[in-house]
Chains A and B, each alone.
Chain A
């Protein structure tokens, strides 16, 4: 444990925690993808009224919000891994991760506003 490499920018501060968050978020993302794809396949000609009513259902709102939260965690861990592998200068890596963090925050706010705004 003493020799474990700690990095302040990884999600759970440990590889095992990141591994678990990545899998749990993946299951949420996969479930929502199949769910939304089946809605589009079963209702190819959705009207605005139907589309709006669908996203007025509380559990659809919550499932959508949960999915965007999963995107935030999943994308952070994935892009942290990619940045750590390919962007060697510390400044460039932090700058990249700051841009990623801001982008994911905007996605979360945009979705929450679209659902409840």
Chain B
């Protein structure tokens, strides 16, 4: 092997295949959801605690930043959900080829994007 061959391990300059992008987003959304689930459980707890707690959550979610935080959290839920379905489909032996993975990764990104936009419309409209 030529020891002086050029080596590039800078992830920012390597063009990632679509499957790699879909996969790292699955991980990143999962890590984010450790906090995101906390936000959802906190809202559930407050809203069930009392009428005042319920109204406090309702009032909070009319503010711009909490609305955005809810949208980001639900976006992570949606992406993680759709990317997880891909795993379950592949466990059944479907799409276990290079082309199959590429097509399904595009499908995951597209379906998640549509659902995330619809959720944004539902939150702000």
Chain A interfacial positions (CB closer than 8 Å to B): 23, 26-27, 29-30, 33, 41, 48, 51-52, 55, 68, 71, 75, 78-79, 82, 100, 103, 107, 110-111, 113-115
Instruction: Name the contact of B47 in the complex, choosing from A51, A75, A78 (C-beta under 8 A).
Output: A51
Known: A23-B88, A51-B54, A114-B44. 11 other contacts (CB 8 A): A26-B84, A48-B51, A55-B48, A68-B41, A78-B27, A78-B30, A79-B31, A79-B34, A107-B41, A111-B41, A114-B49
- B93 close to chain A: CB less than 8 A: no
> 8 smallest A-B Cβ distances: which pairs?
A114-B45, A48-B54, A48-B51, A78-B30, A114-B48, A26-B84, A107-B41, A110-B45
Instruction: Name the contact of A110 in the complex, choosing from B34, B41, B54 (C-beta under 8 A).
Output: B41
Residue of A nearest to B55 (CB): A48
Majority DSSP secondary structure for residues of A touching B: helix
Chain B interfacial positions (CB closer than 8 Å to A): 27, 30-31, 33-34, 37-38, 41-42, 44-45, 47-49, 51, 54-55, 77, 81, 84-85, 87-88, 91, 122
Residue of B nearest to A115 (CB): B48
Residue of A nearest to B30 (CB): A78
> Does B88 lie within 8 Å of A111, measured CB to CB?
no
> Does A110 lie within 8 Å of B42, measured CB to CB?
yes
Instruction: Name the contact of A30 in the complex, choosing from B30, B55, B85 (C-beta under 8 A).
Output: B85
> Does B85 lie within 8 Å of A33, measured CB to CB?
no
Give the distance in Å from the alpha carbon of A111 to the alpha carbon of B49 in the complex: 11
Give the distance in Å from the alpha carbon of A75 to the alpha carbon of B35 in the complex: 11
A-B contact pairs, 22 of them (CB 8 A): A26-B84, A26-B88, A27-B88, A30-B84, A30-B85, A33-B77, A48-B47, A48-B51, A51-B54, A68-B41, A75-B37, A78-B27, A82-B30, A82-B31, A100-B34, A107-B37, A110-B45, A111-B41, A113-B45, A114-B44, A114-B45, A114-B49
